[in-house]
Amino acid sequence: MEVLGPYNHANGYSTLTIMPNYKVESINFKLPAEDDYKEHITASHGWLWRIEKLTDCADPVELYCKIFTQRKINYGAACGEALDAIEAYDDEWSLHIGTEDGEAMKNRAINSDGMPERLKDQVDFHKPFTILKRTGLYTKVPHLNKGEHFHIHHLMAYGKRSAEDISTWLAVDTPKRKLENWVGV
């Protein structure tokens, strides 16, 4: 395994990991601060993985974004249009972790946008590649053929909890193309 980088981008940085069967660009960044909610977000972070298959060997890849805490917190699903997300919260704070839902991924497959077109029948609203767990997201990358690419992101936003404020939820509801433009890749 070889790790190259970090490489700086307009609004983030990346590393390139070359393994026997995959080349994985892992891009780290702070989420774009939208005027509608930027003052309500205490912290945010995003991870975008751009995976290329180098061989035809079967070699499963799984990605996780998981909460580890000793605090007593509540959890719940917080999905929306084109969004699969969970919320972790207590009386004072709210944290959302999200990614595109199966329908958004299906549309990307149809358009060969960071996903092979042949996957369009393997993913949809009821068959996503990402599973919501109580404490985070779990993405099982589908089998890729040599030369195929698969792009996925996990986003996290944290802020003060308020019944009227959905800033952290809005922050994780950002599509792949907008994230790539923001980061500068």
Mean pLDDT per block of 10 residues along the chain (185 residues) reads 96 97 97 72 93 95 89 89 93 93 95 96 92 92 96 94 85 91 92
CA 181 distance to own-chain centroid: 15
125-134 contacts, C-beta under 8 A, 24 or more apart? 125/101, 126/102, 127/102, 128/84, 128/101, 128/102, 129/102, 129/105, 130/84, 130/99, 130/100, 130/101, 130/102, 132/77, 132/79, 132/84, 132/85, 132/86, 133/66, 133/86, 134/75, 134/86
Calpha distance 53→128 (Å, rounded): 20
Nearest to 138 by CA among 69, 80, 79, 62: 62
Looking at residue 37, its pLDDT comes to 62
Q: Give the pLDDT score at 49.
A: 97
Name every residue whose Cβ is closer than 8 Å to that of residue 18 and which is 6 or more positions away in sequence: 1, 2, 3, 4, 54
Identify whether the C-beta of residue 130 lies closer than 8 Å to the C-beta of residue 99.
Answer: yes
Do the Cβ atoms of 29 and 180 come closer than 8 Å?
no
Confidence (pTM): 0.92
